[in-house]
Chains A and B, each alone.
Chain A
Amino acid sequence: MKRIRDFINRADIRRFRFWLQLFFFVLFIYGGYFAINLGNSIPVFSCGYDRQVGGMCYFLPLQHQLARPLDVLFSAASISVLIGFITFLLWFVVFNKAWCGYACPLGTMQDWLTGLRKKMGIRYSTYTQPQFDKLKKIKYIMLALVILAPMGVGMGILGGEWRTAFCEICPGRMITPLFVGDVSQWSLDFSTKTAMILTTLGLIFTGLFVIGSFVKKRFFCFFCPMSAMHYIFSDAALLKLKKDGDKCTKCGDCYNVCDMQIKDIADDVKSTNILRDDCILCMKCVAACPEDDALHVDILNMKLFSSTKGGFAKRMQMDKLEKKDD
């Protein structure tokens, strides 16, 4: 048991993550070719506009369901909405926000762009703290759009183009189908003014997505409504990121490796549950922590992966460094 634990704690989480991300990327983007279908309540942006999708992003069916006329929505049909939502919760509860860090195809694409940038030797950008505090609120506005726009359609206030308003402006709709050779989403829809504005916004966000995630790690995840939705239910999740404040030396290593610039991970020594709304549970912070058990990922209150001195030394290749000094 101890040996297994040691093995996990000393594992090279980066390589593990790369392969797992690749696996999920293929599963979600090309799943249709292997006749895989995990349903349409997947809590990541595996876009339903990709015809070969191996499991659909929950927002597309959610928006369609909420766009039903209100009398239909609040009658027996709400059972189907509830079933979809419960399936979403069941998927989500197991992995918590690790869906973002390990499974989301759009996140994986951003990580690959980051890798490309690294290879080219270009430095990454960061936000200042005040900028960051303002920008992180955008995702809740997006979540409101996901829920309210289709309901407006159902009420008859908004036109039919608003049915999937968020999907229209989501970069995933344009980028994901590219991987199966479908460029039909790269167009402006001139059929109505609303459709034109929404598709134009979508293309603008796509452009920003590509450039933004090239210079800023996980650029889009700050604005992702799925991340906001995850956070609302994250207390109920089985997988948890925890911190033992007594063991923390506030060295700031975790903050430095964090793709999402979450300051609390280093600063907050009081709360045990350190998962914040921006967190993607990539576990980089746990891998980078040099203190024993200061940060750990728990599943059902059992330690799954925790920070250790040994693991830190191995990942930092300290033995090699020491040899060099000789």
Chain B
Amino acid sequence: MVNFIKRDKDDIYAKPLLGVLFKNQKFLTILKIAISMLFLYALYFGFTHTGKENTFTTAVFWGIFWSLFMVLTLPTFGRIFCGICPHGFMGKYITKYGLKKTMPKWLQNRYIGVFLLVFGWWGVYYMFPNLFRTPLGTAILFAVMTLIAFIVYFLYKDMSYCKYICPIGTLTRAYSKLSFTWLGTYKSACNDCRTFECATACPYNLKPFTFDNRNSMTDCTLCMDCSSACEAVSFKYKNPSFSLFSKFQVLKAEVWAFILILASISITMSFHHGIGRSNAAGDMIWSKTAEFLKHYIDFGAIDPIGLFAFVYALIFTILAAVIGMFIAAKILKKDFNTVFYDLGYSYAPLFILGSIAHSFEMFFLKGYEHIAEGFAYGFGFTLDVAPLANRGDGWLHVFDLLKWVAIIWALIILYKRVKLLDVSRLRKIAAFPFAASLIIFFLAVNMYVGYIFKTYGKASNGHASHGGVERVNKKSEKQDLPTFIKPEFSDTIYFSEINPTAEKKSYGGGHSHGGARGRVATKEVWPVFEDAEGKKNCLGALEAKLYLLDANLNTKEATVSKDAGCKSVTFEMPDNGYYNLFYVNKDVKDNTLYITTAKYEFLRFNHSNYAIYDKKKMDAHTIKEAPFDILRVREDDETFFHALYSGKKLRVKVVLEEEAIEGADVTLSTKTLWSKTLKTDKNGVATFTLIEDYFPNWNEFNKRYKNEFLLSASYVKDVSGVDNERQYQKINYSATYPSYYYPNERGYKSYAYGLSAAVLIMIISGFVIYMYRTRREKPFKEVRFDEEN
């Protein structure tokens, strides 16, 4: 026994505050008693308050213990939960006065715990999703577990319950290998030791002085009893998961725990709660299997979709791991078992880091609220706190980064463990991708969930446990359908990028984000007209013909949205280039044929390096289906990045029956009610200068401010004819073209200041350097002493 030792710098016991937290026996005992009291109180509370209003019991068990505290501490500090676990704490004293028998061989099986967790808990959870969510269910579950634990503690020695029966015993042992803490001993002191106080103090009958040499803490639960028995015990900071980088005695149950828990939590959740919330949920194999078997089997209260999601997740995961490792073993020319269990440890980060991401997200969304209000309820006062974040907050996604960390970490561990094998380098390189099969599978499932949501969208009836979705949908249903006014002939109809009846401006004006490759961008526009008060009205029904001229100059008919409400037109833009949408309407009134064209032009560009600006295709084109049309004439130096700016010229060409026409009236009117009317020249062209009419305060200036304007052209032709058995004497043509321009660069950029700033810095820094160097290089001056004095 050692009474004093000079501790290393990285020893947590030597740190001022952490040393007390982890070593001080009085503090630890008080902490353990407090947690045991809380545990028992929550159990008691669960039995007495069985109603839904009891949020306390669920807050203790499902808010804090699992999953927040567990997943947070396991890959960081290690099994500190086991150190303060009420079962272990009370079990120590029960064992002390118990029968101390040796556990029978058939019970000394770590798979009991793993299977209890995977099938007894997760399997049941997916079959009966609401069973354990109630306070009473929770209380019964934990009371039963406590009873079993106490019986096993009483009968058998060495805390065998923790090792073999406890559902999370093997799990914590396995995942704690990722942590950055390590309980070991100071070798210098242990070499002379003949008394082994640390081993005798250990309730688990372990030998802490062998941990360093074995490169494994075996079943240590960090109860810290040994550290009070002998000062030579250390608790050190290490590199995370460092023990996985070198050899140790593998435990098969641990590898299976990694695989089964990954399957039953991460993968099943991705299947059941992830894809299950999308519109494609019904097409998935587990839903189909459930549907199919429903005809033959009566599932009763069981949720068959959840059950089969779980079953398929298990099958897929195990197959991915086993097949990959089998091929890897063949390539490495080694026994399958050694390869599988040696390299299987690389699966460790996958589940636990992904779970941290989920736990954090849930904590900010509702966990915090649940825990705070639950504890307040449990201790008899009321509290109302707001959740720390709302669903849809952008910053919550930062936790998704952890999934990538998990994958990279897993690949690093695999790399280090492959390195340990004694086979040729070429074989190792060839075997690596196969050994990584489960890691790749995990990556693929995550990507697939994202892909499903991108392609099929979120289902409107959200999953029961994620209430946020439902609320949003209810709101949109409540929205009253606006009453639609039919446009008069004098009204000009044009396309708007914004739904005039929508309460909030939809993001990007309906233009889908081009983030995902391979997905076709779409654009949604609304034909609108302004009434006498200048208010935008949309159309409730559309009689006009719609045409789309795509980037490859193919014309096809476009269709209008089918759902009630504002009519809109959505079109896909697979290629780079201009997309033109035409709205062409013909009607006769007062012996006049009104031909109205509304045009919408959009330049689609996905910023690809390989896009070629083909001047012919990019030129302004009209279609024969539109008798009267406005074209924006392209300038010579236009590129895909073209945009209009104030101060720039805008040339507009008016075409009648595909021929440029002279003398048509063209009006440009901006949102600020400035307008100007010109007549087209003999080439059919009218030239406008875009005015500067955006004058915000300096600090509110937005260089991407869209100054919307509308071009409208009209022309009257005295021709008589018949249209749909209605006579007319003249034709009134009109066309509209909405667009926008940005503030001119000159409005916010200053070249003069820019150049002078750079030149000034050059002069100053040059001068400073010159001064510095001349001063430093002072010539040597000889100091002469006058020898006569």
Cross-interface CB contact of B765 among A69, A190, A193, A207, cutoff 8 Å: A207
B783 in contact (CB, < 8 A):
no
Cross-interface CB contact of A71 among B397, B451, B748, B762, cutoff 8 Å: B397
* A309–B451 CA distance with the chains assembled, in angstroms: 61
Inter-chain contacts of B426 with A (CB < 8 A): none
Rounded to whole Å, the gap between the CB of A240 and the closest CB of chain B is: 17
A251 in contact (CB, < 8 A):
no
Q: How many residues of B contact A (CB 8 A)?
A: 42
Chain A positions 67-89 with a Cβ under 8 Å from a chain B Cβ: 68-80
User: Are B760 and A207 within 8 A (Cβ)?
Assistant: yes
Rounded to whole Å, the gap between the CB of B513 and the closest CB of chain A is: 6
Residue of A whose beta carbon sits closest to that of B701? A191
A154 in contact (CB, < 8 A):
yes
User: Are A77 and B517 within 8 A (Cβ)?
Assistant: yes
* A183–B515 CA distance with the chains assembled, in angstroms: 31
Binary interface encoding of chain A residues 52-69 relative to chain B, with 1 for a CB under 8 A from any of its CBs, else 0: 000000000000000011
User: Are A70 and B394 within 8 A (Cβ)?
Assistant: yes
Inter-chain contacts of A208 with B (CB < 8 A): 761, 765
User: Are A75 and B453 within 8 A (Cβ)?
Assistant: yes
Chain A positions 28-44 with a Cβ under 8 Å from a chain B Cβ: 37, 39-40
* A154–B762 CA distance with the chains assembled, in angstroms: 36
User: Are A76 and B451 within 8 A (Cβ)?
Assistant: yes
A212 in contact (CB, < 8 A):
yes
Cross-interface CB contact of A203 among B400, B748, B749, B761, cutoff 8 Å: B761
A187-B754 contact, Cβ under 8 Å, with A70-B395, A156-B394, A211-B765? yes
* A123–B769 CA distance with the chains assembled, in angstroms: 12
A174 in contact (CB, < 8 A):
yes
User: Are B453 and A188 within 8 A (Cβ)?
Assistant: no
User: Are B454 and A76 within 8 A (Cβ)?
Assistant: yes
Chain A interface size, under 10 / 10 to 19 / 20 to 34 / 35 or more: 35 or more
B703 in contact (CB, < 8 A):
yes
B398 in contact (CB, < 8 A):
yes
Binary interface encoding of chain A residues 192-231 relative to chain B, with 1 for a CB under 8 A from any of its CBs, else 0: 1100000110011011101110110000000000000000
A78-B404 contact, Cβ under 8 Å, with A72-B516, A188-B757, A212-B765? yes
* A165–B502 CA distance with the chains assembled, in angstroms: 35
Binary interface encoding of chain B residues 757-776 relative to chain A, with 1 for a CB under 8 A from any of its CBs, else 0: 11111100110010001000
Inter-chain contacts of A267 with B (CB < 8 A): none
Rounded to whole Å, the gap between the CB of A299 and the closest CB of chain B is: 17
Cross-interface CB contact of B515 among A40, A72, A187, A199, cutoff 8 Å: A72
User: Are A207 and B758 within 8 A (Cβ)?
Assistant: yes
Inter-chain contacts of B173 with A (CB < 8 A): none
A192-B749 contact, Cβ under 8 Å, with A70-B395, A204-B761, A211-B766? no
Inter-chain contacts of B451 with A (CB < 8 A): 75-76
Residue of A whose beta carbon sits closest to that of B513? A72
A79-B447 contact, Cβ under 8 Å, with A155-B394, A192-B701, A193-B699? yes
Inter-chain contacts of B447 with A (CB < 8 A): 75-76, 78-79
B385 in contact (CB, < 8 A):
no
Inter-chain contacts of B769 with A (CB < 8 A): 125, 211, 215
Cross-interface CB contact of A125 among B515, B749, B758, B773, cutoff 8 Å: B773
Binary interface encoding of chain B residues 493-516 relative to chain A, with 1 for a CB under 8 A from any of its CBs, else 0: 000000000000000000001011
Inter-chain contacts of B753 with A (CB < 8 A): 187-188
Inter-chain contacts of B609 with A (CB < 8 A): 37, 39-40
* A212–B766 CA distance with the chains assembled, in angstroms: 8
Inter-chain contacts of B515 with A (CB < 8 A): 68-69, 72-73, 77
Inter-chain contacts of B301 with A (CB < 8 A): none
Inter-chain contacts of A78 with B (CB < 8 A): 404, 447
A191-B703 contact, Cβ under 8 Å, with A75-B454, A155-B395? yes
Inter-chain contacts of A151 with B (CB < 8 A): 398
- Number of interchain pairs (Cβ within 8 Å): 123
Residue of B whose beta carbon sits closest to that of A210? B762
A186-B758 contact, Cβ under 8 Å, with A75-B453, A191-B703, A215-B769? yes
A268 in contact (CB, < 8 A):
no
* A40–B757 CA distance with the chains assembled, in angstroms: 31
A80-B517 contact, Cβ under 8 Å, with A190-B749, A190-B750? yes
B702 in contact (CB, < 8 A):
yes
Inter-chain contacts of B762 with A (CB < 8 A): 207, 210-211
Rounded to whole Å, the gap between the CB of B87 and the closest CB of chain A is: 38
Rounded to whole Å, the gap between the CB of B232 and the closest CB of chain A is: 33
A182 in contact (CB, < 8 A):
no
Inter-chain contacts of A74 with B (CB < 8 A): 397, 400-401, 403-404, 450
* A200–B759 CA distance with the chains assembled, in angstroms: 12
User: Are A187 and B749 within 8 A (Cβ)?
Assistant: yes
User: Are B698 and A199 within 8 A (Cβ)?
Assistant: no
Binary interface encoding of chain A residues 136-166 relative to chain B, with 1 for a CB under 8 A from any of its CBs, else 0: 0000000000000001001111001000000
B673 in contact (CB, < 8 A):
no
Inter-chain contacts of A71 with B (CB < 8 A): 394, 397, 400
* A176–B355 CA distance with the chains assembled, in angstroms: 46
Inter-chain contacts of A204 with B (CB < 8 A): 757-758, 761
A189 in contact (CB, < 8 A):
yes
* A154–B393 CA distance with the chains assembled, in angstroms: 11
Inter-chain contacts of A123 with B (CB < 8 A): 773
Inter-chain contacts of A210 with B (CB < 8 A): 762
* A106–B232 CA distance with the chains assembled, in angstroms: 57
B379 in contact (CB, < 8 A):
no
User: Are B400 and A70 within 8 A (Cβ)?
Assistant: yes
Inter-chain contacts of A79 with B (CB < 8 A): 447, 517
Residue of B whose beta carbon sits closest to that of A82? B404
* A72–B766 CA distance with the chains assembled, in angstroms: 47
Rounded to whole Å, the gap between the CB of A209 and the closest CB of chain B is: 9
Binary interface encoding of chain A residues 92-119 relative to chain B, with 1 for a CB under 8 A from any of its CBs, else 0: 0000000000000000000000000000
* A80–B513 CA distance with the chains assembled, in angstroms: 14
Chain B positions 668-711 with a Cβ under 8 Å from a chain A Cβ: 698-699, 701-704
Residue of A whose beta carbon sits closest to that of B449? A75
Rounded to whole Å, the gap between the CB of B287 and the closest CB of chain A is: 22
Inter-chain contacts of A68 with B (CB < 8 A): 513, 515
Rounded to whole Å, the gap between the CB of A283 and the closest CB of chain B is: 28
Chain B positions 394-411 with a Cβ under 8 Å from a chain A Cβ: 394-398, 400-401, 403-404
Residue among A76, A188, A215 having the largest count of chain B Cβ atoms under 10 Å:
A76
* A188–B759 CA distance with the chains assembled, in angstroms: 13
Inter-chain contacts of A75 with B (CB < 8 A): 447, 450-451, 453-454, 516
Inter-chain contacts of B401 with A (CB < 8 A): 74
* A211–B513 CA distance with the chains assembled, in angstroms: 43
* A75–B401 CA distance with the chains assembled, in angstroms: 10
Residue of B whose beta carbon sits closest to that of A214? B766
Inter-chain contacts of B758 with A (CB < 8 A): 174, 186, 203-204, 206-207
Inter-chain contacts of B773 with A (CB < 8 A): 123, 125, 215
Residue of B whose beta carbon sits closest to that of A206? B758
Cross-interface CB contact of A76 among B396, B397, B516, B699, cutoff 8 Å: B516
Rounded to whole Å, the gap between the CB of B658 and the closest CB of chain A is: 36
Rounded to whole Å, the gap between the CB of B469 and the closest CB of chain A is: 14
User: Are A207 and B750 within 8 A (Cβ)?
Assistant: no
User: Are A188 and B749 within 8 A (Cβ)?
Assistant: yes
Residue of A whose beta carbon sits closest to that of B607? A64
Inter-chain contacts of B757 with A (CB < 8 A): 188, 200, 203-204, 207
User: Are B516 and A199 within 8 A (Cβ)?
Assistant: no
* A37–B609 CA distance with the chains assembled, in angstroms: 8
* A77–B512 CA distance with the chains assembled, in angstroms: 14
* A86–B397 CA distance with the chains assembled, in angstroms: 23
Q: List 27 A-B contacts (CB under 8 A).
A: A68-B515, A69-B515, A73-B515, A74-B397, A75-B453, A76-B454, A77-B516, A79-B517, A123-B773, A151-B398, A187-B749, A187-B754, A188-B749, A188-B754, A190-B698, A203-B758, A203-B761, A204-B757, A206-B758, A207-B758, A207-B759, A207-B760, A207-B761, A210-B762, A211-B761, A211-B769, A214-B766
Q: Name the 10 nearest CB pairs between A and B, nearest first.
A: A207-B761, A70-B397, A75-B450, A74-B400, A191-B748, A72-B515, A187-B754, A191-B703, A77-B515, A207-B762
